[in-house]
Amino acid sequence: MLLEPTTHDLELIYERPEALADTQTHYCPGCTHGVAHRLLAEAIDELGLREKTILVAPVGCSVFANQYFDIDGCVAAHGRAPAMATGVKRVQPDNLVVTYQGDGDLASIGMAEIVHAAARGEHITTIFVNNAIYGMTGGQMAPTSIIGQKTTSSPLGRDPRLTGAPIRVSEMLSTLDGAAYVVRRSLHDVKNIRKAKKAILTALKVQMAGIGFSMVELLSSCPTNWGITPVEALEWIESDMIPTFPLGDFKISDAVKSLETR
Amino acid sequence: MAKDMLKGNVAIAEAAVRAGCEAYFGYPITPQTELLEHMSVRMVELGRAFLQAESEVAAINMVYGAASAGARVMTSSSSPGFSLMQEGLSYIAASDVPAVIVDVMRGGPGLGNILPSQADYFQVTRSAGHGDYHPIVLAPASVQEAIDFTVLAFDLADAYRHLVIVAADGLIGQMMEPAELPEMRPLRARPPWAITGANGRAKNVISSFNLQASEQEAYNLKLQDRLAVIREREQRSFEHHAEDVDLLVVGYGSSGRIAYTAVEEARARGLNVGLFRPQTLYPFPERRLRQLAKTARALLVVEMNAGQMLEDVKLFVPDRPVAFYGRMGGVVPMPDEILTAIEAQMTSLAPVGA
């Protein structure tokens, strides 16, 4: 005999965040952009800020991010998201303004914009997705590509004698007085994803408390352009990326510390 | 209101403030720096947004952000800095957001110098960035016009959701003369398309990106339709004794103003000469110019460059001889130089009926 369905007893414990749009993304299988999007959306929902948030998307794989969030947003020119976000925030100071940027966008063409936004203590939050490669254009060397990493523009592996060493953006920005909260997290396993979520929540709270610039760097996977499987890509983050980009808190200002203990 | 003794750069800045400019982002560059300096005082005391950006690249993208949020916003620069803004200008134009850019042109190319020039005519009128579009371009010839055109620039930007450039030259920016400022206007409300947070409405997205060729072409067609309306409605020009002349002198901005003096002197010498001064460089005031050219026997274009507007004049008046007199690299022509050019052209015209 079949059991009667007992849907009235079920409790919904996992659903699409309101800040996410009900749609499919174009991201490749095994790419962690989707995880990063969800964490940001959950954090926005939990703070009740969906209707106050303005998302500045970059140029790169996340250029379509505005389609995947059910919030106001815009698409900046390549690397200029911190400048565009500054323009938005200065005339909409009560809004939550978030830039979502990849490593080519933020650490190469947009280095001046991110440094000066951080130096000004601009009241914006940056989600910095570092996957050590240019994804959208098909896997070229990024400023964060690690030594020896093979890409379509460093086919023999990144040679530091020719192209220098990867830039550790979080460490660099942490030296600036205007940077209030700068941390690096990873999306390669559940434990680290939970830590990343907590960091994003803190970063958004830092902005809404008017403390200063906040950034969460997320080590992310790009199996398509790394030329490995999704599972191998997660393993590569742990084995090869984290030694170059150690996880940790690089700047937690005193005002942020008191915010966290409140 | 009484007239004040005002420097062009300061007058433009104060006119913008009074026109309801809510945000200004800029970077120091001679000969427009007084504009930024005036904004640093006035915007802050009024509680509006002022920021000295890290570069012109950043400044124009800050403008893009504030414009996307629906604020009346402006930046200013001079030729080399204006070149750096091309990328942002194209994005702004392609996103249908209003913005006002002031280019106080200086001698080029390259770093050139800090003296007055009109060598950015191609750059401001042709596209000011990649892709098929034209900004609306206003060219003041006095401090008063610089004030009036700054206010007009904000209104046109809003009316068409379009990029408007005030193309002044270093002479207009730096000189002082009596002019009247407008009354202070209240800040206008944010338009419904602006990104201000999806509070009780569907989300707004400002973007210039579309991977579908057919949709991107459809957008381009819409943009071209808007430009056609702008060409139809917004041609503006000033003229002085321009009807039924033997020689019609055509110049804009400072060179148009200097040509005015030369035309007056030529007329005092009995020469049948008039002046046509485009106030909009885009749309080029071709309707009126064509009418006037019907009765003129020849035209003389005067510019502070190697002959850029000259191409537009020749395009719209193909059936009359068009001569050119220009100075470059920051050299400002004197009225007597233009007078000599006028006299040379008048001499070369065969006597009527001969």
By DSSP bridging, strand A248-252 and strand A179-186 are: antiparallel
Domain containing A92: what range?
26-261
Q: What are phi and psi of A108, to 5 degrees?
A: -110, -80
Same domain membership, residue B174 and residue B96: yes
Is A140 inside a domain boundary? yes
Model pLDDT, residue B2: 87
Of A54, A76, A115, the CB nearest to B197: A54
pLDDT at B47 over 60: yes
Of the pLDDT bands very low, low, confident and very high (cuts 50, 70, 90), residue A260 is confident
For residue A16, being part of any structural domain is answered with: no
Per-residue burial over B195-225, b if 16 or more Cβ lie within 10 Å, else e, is bbbbeeeebbbbbbeeeeeeeeeeeeeebee
How close B107 comes to chain A (CA, Å)? 28
pLDDT exceeds cutoff 60 at B299: yes
B252, B329: one domain: yes
Reported confidence tier of residue A5, pLDDT bands at 50, 70, 90: low
Q: What is the pLDDT of residues A194-225, one digit of tens each?
A: 999 999 999 999 999 999 999 999 999 999 99
Burial of B147 (0-12, 13-18, 19+ CB in 10 A): buried
Let me know if residue A198 belongs to a domain: yes
- Residues B89-130 pLDDT 10s: 999 999 999 999 999 999 999 999 999 999 999 999 997 899
Both B253 and B132 in a single domain?
A: no
Is B68 close to A71, i.e. CB distance below 8 A?
Answer: no
Q: Same structural domain for residues B170 and B287?
A: no
- pLDDT score recorded for residue B329: 96
pLDDT digits (tens, 9 = 90+) for A121-170: 999 999 999 999 999 999 999 999 999 999 999 999 999 999 999 999 99
d(CA A99, CA A81): 6
**CB–CB of B253/B125 below 8 Å?**
no
Contact between chains at A87 and B204 (C-beta distance less than 8 A): no
Q: How confident is the model at residue A77 (pLDDT cuts 50, 70, 90)?
A: very high
Query: What mean pLDDT value characterizes chain B?
Result: 97
Instruction: Cite the DSSP H helix spans in chain B.
Output: 8-18, 33-45, 56-68, 79-84, 86-94, 121-126, 143-160, 170-174, 213-233, 253-268, 286-295, 309-316, 335-348
Tell me if A234 is assigned to some domain: yes
Cα angle B143-B147-B148, degrees, rounded to a multiple of 5 = 115
Contact of B351 with chain A, judged by CB distance below 8 Å, is answered with: no
Q: Containing H/E element for A255?
A: helix A254-261
- Collapsing DSSP states into helix, strand and coil, what is residue A187? coil
Are B269 and B229 part of one and the same domain? no
- State the CATH number of the domain containing residue A161: 3.40.50.970
Q: Is residue B198 part of a domain?
A: no
Alpha helices in A81-176 (DSSP H): 81-91, 103-104, 111-119, 160-163, 169-173
Structural domains in chain A (count)? 1
* Residues on chain B touching A66 (C-beta within 8 angstroms): 203, 205, 207
Of how many residues is chain A composed? 262
Q: How many domains is chain B built from?
A: 2
A interface mutation test: which of B64, B97, B190, B201 has the most A CBs within 10 A?
B64
> How distant is the Cα of A92 from the closest Cα of chain B, in angstroms?
7
Mark B27-39 as b/e (b = at least 16 C-beta within 10 Å): bebbbbbbbbbbb
In a domain, B77, yes or no: yes
CATH number of the domain encompassing residue B274: 3.40.50.920
| Distance (Å, whole) CA A116 – CA A132 | 22
* Confidence category of residue A67, pLDDT binned at 50, 70, 90: very high
Is residue A17 included in any domain, yes or no? no
B277 in the same domain as B142: no
Give, as one character, the DSSP assignment of residue A240: I
Residue A5 lies in a domain: no
Confidence band, pLDDT 50/70/90 cuts, at residue B1:
low
B63 and chain A in contact, CB less than 8 A: yes
- Return the axis-axis angle of helices A111-119 and B56-68, rounded to nearest 10°: 70
Beta strands A125-130 and A96-102 are parallel
Query: Would you call A54 an interface residue with chain B, using a CB distance cutoff of 8 Å?
Result: yes
Check: pTM over 0.90? Answer yes or no.
yes
pLDDT band for position A10 (cuts 50, 70, 90): confident
> Considering chain B, what percentage of its residues have pLDDT values greater than 90?
97
In chain B, what residues touch A50 (CB-CB under 8 Å)? 198
Q: For residue A113, which residues of chain B lie inside 8 Å, CB to CB?
A: 54, 57-58, 61
Question: Looking at the domain assignment, is residue B165 inside a domain?
Answer: yes
Q: Which chain A positions have a beta carbon within 8 Å of B206's beta carbon?
A: 73-75
**What average pLDDT does range B59-75 have in this prediction?**
98
Based on the domain organization, do B222 and B253 belong to the same domain? no
Give the CA count within 13 Å in the CB-facing half-sphere of B172: 34
pLDDT in tens, B174-229: 999 999 999 999 999 999 999 999 999 999 999 999 999 999 999 999 999 999 99
pLDDT score of A9: 75
| Residue B30, domain CATH | 3.40.50.970
Q: Rounded distance, CA A69 to CA A133, Å?
A: 24
CB B264 within 8 A of CB B292: no
- The ipTM assigned to this model is 0.96
Q: State chain A's maximal CA–CA distance in angstroms.
A: 73
CA–CA separation, A40 and A34 (whole Å): 10
B214 plus B243 within the same structural domain: no
Name the residue range of residue B135's domain. 4-188+208-233
Task: Kindly report the nearest CA distance between residue B152 and chain A, in angstroms.
Answer: 22
Domain-embedded: residue B197: no
CA separation for the pair B171, B189 (Å, rounded): 35
In this structure, are B41 and B157 located in the same domain?
yes
Is residue B123 domain-shared with residue B220, that is, in the same domain? Answer: yes
Residue B117 has what pLDDT? 97
Q: How sure is the predictor about A3, in pLDDT bands with cuts at 50, 70 and 90?
A: low
